[in-house]
Amino acid sequence: MNKVYVSYYGDSISIVEGRYKHDKDKFYVKNFNVFSIEDIAQDFSKEKYALLEIRIRKC
């Protein structure tokens, strides 16, 4: 089963979708995205990243 992991780094975030195999001790990445506050601000009018922008601004 795939899971989504979100990490915050100052004014940017990374979103990783993947799964971890305990028996092999490996993480398999299906999708990886990095967004900066500028990326989110450009697309903010669509409110697609509204929650991400709020979270980044609080950091």
Query: Model confidence over 2-13: pLDDT tens digits?
Result: 888 888 888 888
pTM beyond 0.85, yes or no: no
User: Cα–Cα distance between 32 and 11 in angstroms, integer?
Assistant: 17
- Compute the half-sphere exposure of residue 9: CA atoms within 13 Å on the CB side of its CA: 9
* Residue 44 structural domain: 3-58
Handedness of CA 1, 43, 10, 55 (dihedral sign): negative
Nearest to 36 by CA among 51, 50, 52: 52
Count of domains forming the chain: 1
pLDDT tens-digit map of 1-54: 788 888 888 888 888 889 988 899 998 999 898 888 777 666 555 565 666 666
User: Cα–Cα distance between 22 and 58 in angstroms, integer?
Assistant: 34
